[in-house]
Amino acid sequence: MKFGYFDDNAKEYVITTPDTPLPWINYLGSRDFFSLISNTCGGYSFYKDAKLLRITRYRYNNIPVDSNGKYYYIHDGEEIWNPGSMPSKTPLDSYECHHGIGYSRFLSSKNGLKADLLAFVPVNSTCEINKLTLTNTTDAPKTFSLFSYAEFCLWNAVDDSTNFQRNLSIGEVEIEGSTIYHKTEYRERRRHYSFFSVNSPVDGFDTSRDVFLGMNNGNAFPAAVKENKAGNSVASGWYPIASHQINITLSAGESKDFIFILGYSENPQDQKFVAPNVIRKDGAHKILEQFQTTEQVDAAFAELNAYWDKLLSRYHVESNDEHVNRMANIWNQYQCMVTFNMSRSASYYESGTGRGMGFRDSCQDLLGFVHLIPERARERILDIAATQFEDGSAYHQYQPLTKKGNLDIGSGFNDDPLWLIAAVSAYLKETGDFSILNEMVDFDNQKEKAAPLYEHLRRSFEYTATHLGPHKLPLIGRADWNDCLNLNCFSTEPGESFQTTGPSEGPIAESVFIAGMFVKYGREFAEISRHMGDTTAADRAEKEVDTMYQAVLDAGWDGEWFVRAYDAESKKVGSKECKEGQIFIEPQGFCVMAGIGVKEGLAQKALDSVKERLDTKYGIMILQPAYTQYYLNLGEISSYPPGYKENAGIFCHNNPWVSIAETVIGRGNRAFEIYKKTCPSYIENISEIHCTEPYVYSQMVAGADAVFHGQAKNSWLTGTAAWTFWNLSQAILGVQPSYNGLCINPCIPEGFGDFRLTRTFRDAVYHIEVKNPDNVQKGVKKVVVDGKEYEGCLIPFEEGKKEYHVTVCMG
């Protein structure tokens, strides 16, 4: 069942009913100011950090679901309705939500009045624009009232939702014409404020939530709207909001635009006030002056569209498969950008108050983003590396505003260091910018401990190489990629952290998954070292990689698949010797991606075991059989009911690893089969089962053991976006950046046919045509570049050359 449709020409997903299975959201903003917005106008806004600088309030676990946002109420005769349906839920005569790239548009009508609400964040601006166009489609004049509504958050989202003994006494606002300023705590330590404005004279306003809504009343039909009269309230403590009342008369056929702006500004500490307790508003005035007219807003919207068109044009494929084209050209790249900006901080599943930016998460996100804006990837790498410790380990998370590591979770996730090598190698291959390796980067954000980025990579490698267990496999620490596989923590009390309880970083428990990572990214480190002229480090890295490869064969192979780990008693996890959890997806994918077992014939066995034991019609489960009880020696993974999350759920994040692994051994049919099962566009017609947005990837789909098999959760902010784009663009379609140029080596399913691809690489544009006359799954027999035939798959990069015309013949 579908609840909308793709409009590929407009780069939109058009939702045709407000009654979607879950709120279907979009993200507005590309740099510092961001908003989440649902298909019924729910959501919230923040500046840089969703925890520390949240601008509008949102209530998770609210009833009704998704019932706080920026709302516009229309009081027309006896009817009160909203252009996005919520919160009044008054039945509309027509409704559409168009989620586009960086914007959302709501088209609705009621009783001859048509509303067109466009929401977006302009490029390089710290505000969100809502342009509301109202049209009288009747043949008579129409008089009605419009009320806006935004509820301010008192900045720190955690404190805002917990510290009521203080918060109910500190709310402050100022009103200047049609602009309402939120200045809570500005009188003391803050020097920033937010504002909500409209480019029209107003007939009333409210800044007190209790006055606007009415005591003991919800937000569906606020008292001020029902009475058609704002209270002109000035908040003092309690719950500050911003609401404007505008009384409107439209003649027959007349349209009128109203431009609402929610913005953020800050002042120098010594220039906060223009009079006692009166904030300096120069920053707000400057923003408002830029977007006062329809022409200014339309120009800003055109600039936004041009910005995204330019970004998405850096990778563009034309194939016979509309789903591949749609996801590769539009939605997958867009989600990679959003995930790069957000990491795992703010979504409808992440409250924005906890995780911030993840070390591992952000490194992986960069894999799908680096081709879009390489200079921002460079900035992110330096930020991430600065949260690393001198021994090569790292904070698992950090806050985007302060760039400081989160002490509550700390370090000890032993896969983290190797992800830095993965991110840097991806950047180097994409850009050829080896100068980044000489950048001085702090350890733990302490400038006196700074060292070149290359030294950070060396310590990342050495951390794993020197933290080995009894089987010469890497120690797992608190966890590896699977945060819920806690082999050293032994949590027994409700409310304890599964990751930080107990010894946490024991000397016995080992991870075969990290071993696969070490082989894959250790080779990358060796190659980087050779580029740096450090042959000693390169030789050592290659030797350690060879030793680890053999350790996996000796202690990590279970006969038909790779073992997952060894626990704190040195017992196997993910083995046929186990009663439950006999096979895991992670080592099968990553070990084969690293080439482990390919020449020995083990790789195919492992992947065949995945298909036989883990595959479902909705994707590959993370493990089988599911855990049916809590195991103290395994931790959080066994705390979930069978079929959910890490306990035998379908983790979309590591399905691409298996697909990539299949391309390593040349099985394009199977690789593409795996790709299709979790690809949103392919499964749009089961939206009533899948539930999450049909235009972006989710983290998890309920596995075969679950009550709701096939139901997804945790959409948008997931490493699935980056890894799936990497899988499609580099493993399947086969256009792979390398240190010396672009390598083209597709692995496609039979019947996929020829395809064309445009790829910007190091400021040069590659026009690539791939032909497959023999209908093979993998193999390149000829590469022709600008009329010249090349040996092998590598097209060397030529400095200064701006365009390449490439023909690849498979066979």
Residues tagged active-site: 483
Cβ contacts of 434 within 8 Å, gap of 6 or more: 428, 531, 532
Do 466 and 540 form a contact (C-beta atoms < 8 A)?
no
Burial of 61 per CB tally in 10 Å (0-12, 13-18, 19+): exposed
Question: What is the b/e burial string over 670-685, where b = at least 16 CB atoms within 10 angstroms of the residue's CB?
Answer: bbbebbbbbbbbbbbe
Quote the Cα angle for 441-442-445, to 5°. Answer: 135
Strand duo 764-771 + 803-810: pairing: parallel
Do 526 and 541 form a contact (C-beta atoms < 8 A)?
yes
> Which residue do the tokens 């700390």 mark?
410
Q: How far apart are CA 174 and CA 284, in angstroms?
A: 13
Cβ contacts of 318 within 8 Å, gap of 6 or more: 325, 755, 756, 757
Classified as helix, coil or strand, 688 is helix
Do 296 and 261 form a contact (C-beta atoms < 8 A)?
no
Question: What is the b/e burial string over 502-523, where b = at least 16 CB atoms within 10 angstroms of the residue's CB?
Answer: bebbbebbbbbbbbbbbbbbbb
Comparing CA positions, the residue from 574, 576, 571 lying closest to residue 587 is 574
Q: How far apart are CA 655 and CA 727, in angstroms?
A: 10
Read off φ and ψ for residue 401, nearest 5 degrees: -75, -45
Secondary structure letter of residue 534 according to DSSP: -
Burial of 691 per CB tally in 10 Å (0-12, 13-18, 19+): buried
Q: How far apart are CA 431 and CA 419, in angstroms?
A: 18
Taking the CA atoms of the chain, what radius of gyration do you get in angstroms? 28
> Which residue do the tokens 């805002």 mark?
160
SS (H, E, C) 43-64: EEEEECCCCCCEEECCCCCCCC
H helices present in 104-204, as ranges: 157-160, 164-167
Other Cβ atoms closer than 10 A to 781? 11
Tell me how far the alpha carbon of residue 488 is from its chain's centroid. Answer: 30
Other Cβ atoms closer than 10 A to 780? 18
Helices 332-342 and 294-312: crossing angle in degrees, nearest 10, is: 100
Do 441 and 452 form a contact (C-beta atoms < 8 A)?
yes
